[in-house]
Amino acid sequence: MLKILVIHGPNLDLLGQREVTVYGTTTLAEINLTLKKRAQHAGVELEAFQSNHEGEIVDKISQSSGKVQAIIINPAAFTHYSIALRDALAATAVPTIEVHLSNLYAREEFRQESVISPVAVGQITGFGPESYYLALDAALSLVKQEESR
């Protein structure tokens, strides 16, 4: 069965209560439930993983090589400086879609730089929880294209 890994970075476990004017009121559990339902409907297994620890995320990415067909990642604050995440994603060579709830480019200048995007297939930013759902649609499309080759 095809499998997609969704990785949520630091502080995303606080969604729904943290800076609701920026990130909204939808919780991470609600996002994961919707993602899993949509993936199941498409006949794809989806695993969701969240950590506030860079090394745990690096380990999860490394362990996914050869086991998943796509990664959706919201690296959160790690977006702007984690060369370790960037290198782990590059090493796995798994098609990766970078996701952000808020529009990075409409926020503080330091948030407008991503070290992850150069190793991602694409980036979806600024649509709140819908960013994840759009990323899942894109990942499903990528997986099905690859499967038909």
pTM (two decimals): 0.93
Res. 106: pLDDT tops 70: no
User: How high is the pLDDT of residue 103?
Assistant: 83
* Residues 28-72 pLDDT 10s: 999 999 999 999 999 999 999 999 999 999 999 999 999 999 999
**Could you list the active site residues?**
23, 100
* Residues 73-91 pLDDT 10s: 999 999 998 999 999 999 9
- Name the residue with tokens 């790690």: 78
DSSP assignment of the chain, as one string? --EEEEEE-TTGGGTTTS-HHHH-S--HHHHHHHHHHHHHHTT-EEEEEE-S-HHHHHHHHHHHTTT-SEEEEE-GGGGGT-HHHHHHHHHHT--EEEEESS-GGGS-GGGG--SSGGGSSEEEESSTTHHHHHHHHHHHHHHHHHHT-
Domain coordinates in residue numbering, the chain: 3-147
**Choices 3.10.290.10, 3.40.50.300, 2.160.10.10, 3.40.50.9100: CATH for 3-147:** 3.40.50.9100
- Residue 142 CB partners (closer than 8 Å, separation 6+): 69, 70, 95, 97, 121
